[in-house]
Amino acid sequence: MKKTIFNIGFLFCTALMIAPSYFIKSKTKPVIIGYVGGFRGLIATDSIDVWRLSHINYAFVDIKDNRVWLHNEATDTVNLRKLSELKKINPDLKILISIGGWTWSKNFSDATLTDTSTRNFALSAVDIVSKYNLDGIDIDWEYPGMIGDNNVYRPEDKQHYTTLLKELRKSLNDLSLKTRMKYYVTTAVGGSQNYIDHTEMDKVQQYTDYINIMSYDYAGGWDAVSGHHTNLYVSSRDSDQYSAHRSIQAFIAAGVPPAKIVIGMAFYGKGWQMESTDNNGLYRKALKSARGGGFTYLKDSLVNKNGYKEYWDAKAKAPYLFNAEKKIFISYDNERSVKEKCKYVKQYHLAGAMFWEYNNDKKGYLLKVVADKFKYVKENK
């Protein structure tokens, strides 16, 4: 993630599509969107807690020859069918395909270069939705108009990103006329001002149901100094001034209604090998990255165990672990921090919360907390 200080300036937004108005409290429960990774192979769908989720975003679907395609067809087809069958258990559950991700965002720029290619891209995505009885499409274009993972990018990506979402909305609306079903268009966005500057969020929001802000990875092994990677507020010692709150307020200023914004939660940690034990590793010089791991692993194996001690940054509303002997620092979300994020969702009347990634917390420690705060009830049927 490129580090850019936020510039908060309010932009006018329209309500062309389906969003509630600014600051009107929703009468429905906040959404809980879980990204479920198909990149590992077959998914154990019978272990998914369907009563504590409103949406599952299947990650990821790839792009080839300017069309959407199932990169791992042998397992993707099985996964999508089994995920769709979960709706028989919980009829309110929605299943979306998530297209792109960090590795597979390389071809978005080419695929959206012309009106014809964009239309064909949208139709190929809708074909998958229709074939597997799914409920919509999530676009995870990680770096429109920006350098990313060896990607093609162009200045025109800024407008083409909007056009893509508009075309997806149109194509899904056409499908809806045939099926009488409601379909969703969502997008996952980077939490930086740089991302906002390379997109047209005031226009993008017109065609989307939810904008999932990836309010994590604010810090990582690429940094020379450790830090919180998914903090709610800015820490007193953070020179980069990153936080979920700043990201969300920047997107609101860019024209996104709060009722469409989904806050991101990290069900995993980021680790650093530190140079010293000073300040328990927080905001100090790092030598290299270290293993973080999923939250189930962190809670069961490291939190106040095996030489690791858990600390709490009261200003940032963020936990961290430090092993003084090994000089390893880990930033992550825990039960306390996700409670704070849930409280924030209610305070600012946001759409809800999303998390990456389901398999990182196999025991459901964090999901249970989020579902409880949003008053989801697990039904044993």
Known catalytic residues are: 142
Tokens (6 digits) for 103: 């590795």
Give the Cα separation of 258 and 239 in Å (integer).
27
Angle at 346 between CA 341 and CA 349, to 5 degrees: 115
- Do 55 and 31 meet the contact criterion of CB atoms below 8 Å apart? yes
Identify the bridge partners of residue 262 per DSSP, sorted by sequence position: 212, 352
Exposed/middle/buried for residue 189 (C-beta within 10 Å: 0-12, 13-18, 19+): buried
Tokens (6 digits) for 66: 């300017």
Q: Which amino acid is at 4?
A: T
Long-range contact list for 9-12, CB < 8 A, 24+ apart?
9/253, 10/252, 10/253, 10/255, 11/201, 11/202, 11/253, 11/254, 11/255, 12/202, 12/255
Give the Cα separation of 357 and 66 in Å (integer).
27
